[in-house]
Chain A
Amino acid sequence: MNRPINRRTSLQILGGGALAAPFIIRPKPGWAQSNTLNVTTYDKFLPQEFLDKFQKDTGIQVNVRLTDDQGKQYNLVSAEGGSPTTDIVTVAGHRLNQWLDSNLLAPVDTGKIGNWTKLNKAYQNATEIEGKLWGLPILIGFEGLAINTDYVKEADSWGVMFDPQYKGLTTYILNDFLSITMLYLGHDGDFVTYTGKPEVAQKAANEARDFLIKHKDMVRRYYDAGSEVQQMFINEDIHLGHSWSGPATKLIMDGLPIRLSVPKEGTYGFYYGLNVVNNAPNAENAYKLFNAVLETPEIGAAMTRQSGFNSTISGVGDLLDDREKQALDLPQDQAERITFFSSVNRDMKNEILDRAMAEVKAG
């Protein structure tokens, strides 16, 4: 039946549209999102080819929301309370307790991940807390000293970051480097030994803060994201800097004259995991993605090539070429200087270092 569109029908359509609008534009409930998966992760962690294949194979639309900082990610999910808009987050191992204390993560059921045994055995229990697993570890890294070998020859100590000949040519992530500076000055930069001793912790942090303020002229810029330190090295705005191992290793893989090392005072290591958010609207899809990540070591190798971080997946090392292996390889004595960040006493550490960070910036 052909019905002419006149003013009356137009009004009816408009009225109908107005009535239907709230239903059309309302946020979709979890059960309606069975074909989507929302992932909050770092840039370059999940290779696009992998995501394309996953979407094609499963019909699940993956929406990636990028983050560059653990604190930002936690604060955003925390603010969403019990109605998260993301299904998967990327939590560093030492941050797990903070997320669990806020009841923001769901335990991982490895029975739903058929490929779980393809994860390197050394990391299969890495996220275990109180008898439950809380994520799928994917990448491992450390806080290293990166130098441009065209300009800096010797760098066996964090002290080179304060050497006057490199004035205005260094960079660091302020929050992370406060921990490193504490280590350099002989303190516990991870606050593990300061449990129940806030005065001792504050004194040590203040010493590091004052040291950084005193040497503020050494630093060209405080940065946040790995891509920023890469850009500064490429533009030769800096000659050396504190860097997560991933971004610096990526530059080495790309052929830049960069060397990454663990100075004699030591450093801190960490791993990143993919974690299912509590009340995630698409938790089942999250498990499908976990399974797909572990499907073949090629995916782990692609993640390593893109991010520069070491993979937790078995067999990845065999797929890397010599230059990639060389970039990722760390001499045994330096590897032994890495202490993995602990989740002990994090609240005290966060509070004291956040304040110290603001003080250094204002100072």
Chain B
Amino acid sequence: MARMVRSRLYRSTLGAVIETRPGRLVLLTAVPMLWLVAMHIGPIYEMFKISLFAGYPVEAHAAAGLTLGSYAIFFRDSLYYQPLIRSFIFAFGATAFTLVVVYPVAYYVARIVRPEGRSKALLLLLVPFWAGEIIRTFSVIMLLANRGAINALLREIGLIDRPIPMLYTSFSLGFGLVYLISLYMLLPLYSAIEKIPSHLLDAAADLGAGPFTRFRRIILPLSRDGIVSGCSLVFLTCIGVFATPILLGGPSTVLFPETISVFFHGASDRWPVGAAFSLILLVSSLITVGIFMRLVGGRGTKV
């Protein structure tokens, strides 16, 4: 190693870079930057490129005609922004509902369960997530189908004669989605609530604050970071979700990702339109999350 370090080749290449502070900085940031470029920016750039083509794939030896026509299709036709609006409404609703459902669970694990039992409690909550998303989606189908567990139980105890159609409705989609994404809300909330110092709550109680006041004045404001992170994660997941609405949704719950997929999977070849719509979805959802983080996360929040 010492010989290698002393070698001219090493000193004129790697050694020269490592010996300076900017050089070390470049080396340290190179790997994450490469990852970001290759795995995140690269595919988005490719999608952007395709969205500007008049047709795709571009024929060999032919010049690629560039156009904004694929973007214009979206703004010209109400047909396409209706599913986008539906997606946003659905994502907002699912995010709010997930927060309401998961917050008490996170609070229970973080504050009520004894410290030595918290890992076990968290583990119990995480076990279902070891199975893949599709498997969990099918478990929801088995639960809600006409011959599924819930209808079978209701029929068995004599409450119904005919099955209640629960599957392929807004209900089944919402139910399934909240179940599938609750983990993204649970972990940030748990992390934030667990960090709240107990002495603040004790002091508030000593000064006469009731449970609701303690929650409103201490717990809720101090768990704001968890709420912002959890809601952002859940919202971004909901807005882009594809497989779940197809498997659990019905004819009235078509979301924007499914509309986009028509352009990639349809009989005719319209990848540029699909790529343009994908970028419209990406940009609009990031702007929404940015605004949310500014509003709820406060001035200090970096977007």
Contacts and interface: CB of A to CB of B under 8 A. Distances in A.
A237 B262 contact: no
B56 A79 contact: yes
B contact face: mostly helix, strand, loop, or mixed: loop
B201 interface: no
Interface of B: 1, 4, 56-57, 60, 79-80, 82-83, 141, 145-148, 163, 165, 167-168, 246, 249-252, 254, 258-259, 262, 264-271
Interface in A144-189: 168, 175
Contacts of A17: none
B57 A235 contact: no
Contact of B1 (A8, A349, A350): A8
B57 A220 contact: no
Interface of A: 7-8, 11, 69-72, 74-75, 78-79, 81-82, 168, 175, 216, 219-222, 224, 231, 234-237, 346-347, 349-351, 353-354, 357-359, 361-362
B18 to A, nearest CB: 16
Given A71-B266, A220-B250, A361 B258 contact: yes
Contacts of A359: 79
B79 A354 contact: no
B169 to A, nearest CB: 9
Given A11-B1, A237-B167, A351 B146 contact: no
A346 B168 CA distance: 32
A78 B266 contact: no
Contacts of B168: 220-221, 237
21 contacts: A7-B1, A78-B57, A81-B57, A219-B251, A221-B168, A221-B250, A221-B251, A235-B147, A235-B148, A237-B145, A237-B146, A237-B165, A350-B268, A354-B266, A357-B266, A359-B79, A361-B254, A361-B258, A362-B79, A362-B82, A362-B83
Contacts of A216: 251-252
A71 B265 contact: yes
A69 B252 contact: no
A72 B264 CA distance: 7
Q: Which 7 A-B pairs have the closest CB atoms?
A: A350-B267, A350-B268, A235-B145, A354-B266, A221-B168, A71-B267, A361-B254
A234 B268 CA distance: 33
A70 B79 contact: no
Nearest to B3: A8
A184 B286 CA distance: 45
A347 B267 CA distance: 9
Contacts of B146: 235-237
A224 B136 CA distance: 20
Contacts of B148: 235
B269 to A, nearest CB: 6
A299 B302 CA distance: 63
Contacts of B4: 11
A82, A222, A231, A362 — most chain B CB neighbours (10 Å)? A362
B147 A354 contact: no
A72 B165 CA distance: 31
B147 A69 contact: no
A180 to B, nearest CB: 15
Given A168-B165, A358-B259, 20 more contacts: A71-B266, A72-B264, A72-B265, A216-B251, A219-B250, A220-B165, A221-B250, A235-B141, A235-B146, A235-B167, A236-B147, A237-B146, A237-B167, A237-B168, A350-B266, A354-B262, A354-B268, A357-B262, A361-B254, A361-B258
A271 B182 CA distance: 45
A74 B269 CA distance: 9
A79 B271 contact: yes
